Chain A
Amino acid sequence: MTIPVLEITNLHKKFGEVEVLKGIDLTMQSGNVVSLIGSSGSGKTTLLRCVNLLEDYEDGVVAVEGEQIGYKQHKGRRIRLKEREIARQRAMTGMAFQHFNLFPHMSAIHNVMLGLIKTRKTPKDEAYAAAEGWLDRVGMKNWKDHYPGQLSGGQQQRVAIARAIAMNPVLMLFDEVTSALDPELVSEVLAVVKDLASDGMTMLLVTHEMQFAHDVSDTVVFMQDGRIGEQGPPEQLFHNPKSERLAAFLKNSKF
């Protein structure tokens, strides 16, 4: 059996006194597309952010390709890894954010090149060529010299996705990538994500777009109160919800 791309076991996370993740188990194999759905405050974004250690976690294990993220066991104690190690691990996964978070002082192509040059130590000209290719992939090659301030939200998000996939991640994390966009710009971003999915990229998404989650994922996870409430193939979850909570949630989401 191959090593899973992502293996989360018994993940616990607290914000101060409030426990927001109360024991999550989730396994993803290469090529899987998993959507996390659930009402706000259910812990789905926090779960996503634990995978690349933008949030520390107190208990349990998050492992990407068999390597525990952020911590190691030493004489029975859990120690946080060194800054540089964590940086390297973060580069194994790619992340697209709700608010894009493009670097405003760099043109589109330099946004994509930054990680290649600084983290992967790719020579500049190679990085440029690669970045150009990735921008082309998301349909933004013609805007490569534009600054984020000159791009629409949808265009910014596509550049941000190019920036993430340029690192050749084993797993892509999408955090509500369309919820900050004007309605007419949502589809261009979703098209890019779908395209990547059909290409076999392993993806973990947090989304409010139920139809999209239905179409793109092979597993849908419904989160409630920091736990996984229900999970399964989209057909089953969307058309035959077992719990009342999920049924009510779907009804409110106008699916």
Chain B
Amino acid sequence: MDIMQALDAIWSARWPLLDGFGNTILISAVSILLGTPLGVGVGLILSYGNRVLRFIVRLYSDFLRGTPVFVLILACFYILSIVGIQLSAFQAGVFALTLFCSSHVGEIVQGALKTIPKGQTEAAKSVGLTFFGTFFSVLLPQALRMILPTWVTTATEIVKASTLLSVIGVVELLLATQQVISRTYLSLELYFFAGLVFFLINFAIEKAGRFVERKVSLPN
């Protein structure tokens, strides 16, 4: 293992690698930002929707959670173009990750709403709050605190899953690294490098999550 040689290779490929890094961040951020509100919708329907709606959304969520993300990405990539939806590999990948994110967030939201004791709703009703008042003033603030740690984990999962887009040809950090490897044959050093960068991204997300968690935690 030649560290100097590896650093040299990384330095001379810094722009493509940085480009890949930017794509990784973009893919993850967009998927999380689109998938989260969609997931909250899924969770709300699973909790409060009528029978038919609940059944449909249940199917949606179970199907997505039972399918490996990798298969989801491949399926979106190949199928969407066949049915006449022309998306780039990047868009198809983000679409797949958004669906993946929404099903996970949906489960988390539903789980959180379920664990809030019934007495909370009753107490809110007893001081005259309506369904929306109860939801926004009493249930949601409590649910959000419960959701936060798992949601942060989901975010790191999305970052990890974004590497799978390399297989359909999206030049994110992993594929950019692989392109350098194919020129330099420094696979050990460069895979290590890529792993380290992903680790640092997720480590930062985790730490930030902990920080926010502490900020909003309730004293007791």
Contact = CB atoms under 8 A, between A and B. Distances in A.
A91 B130 CA distance: 11
Given A101-B117, A105-B145, A149-B220, A115 B128 contact: yes
B123 A91 contact: no
Contact of B127 (A83, A146, A167): A167
A160 B123 CA distance: 9
B123 A97 contact: yes
B19 interface: no
Contacts of B119: 97, 99-101
Given A102-B123, A105-B145, A115 B138 contact: no
Contacts of A88: 128
User: Which of A88, A99, A105, A164 has the most C-beta atoms of chain B within 10 angstroms of its own C-beta?
Assistant: A105
Given A97-B119, A147-B219, A105 B125 contact: no
Given A99-B119, A101-B122, A104-B142, A149 B129 contact: no
A26 interface: no
B218 A104 contact: yes
A149 B219 CA distance: 7
Interface residues of chain B: helix, strand, loop or mixed (majority)? helix
Interface in A53-104: 54, 83-84, 87-88, 90-91, 93-95, 97, 99-104
Given A54-B126, A88-B128, A91-B127, A114 B137 contact: yes
A90 B125 contact: yes
Given A103-B120, A104-B218, A95 B126 contact: yes
Contact of B133 (A102, A118, A149, A167): A118
A84 B130 contact: yes
B141 interface: yes
B131 interface: yes
Contacts of A114: 124, 127, 129, 137-138
Interface of A: 52, 54, 83-84, 87-88, 90-91, 93-95, 97, 99-105, 114-115, 118-120, 146-147, 149-150, 160, 163-164, 167
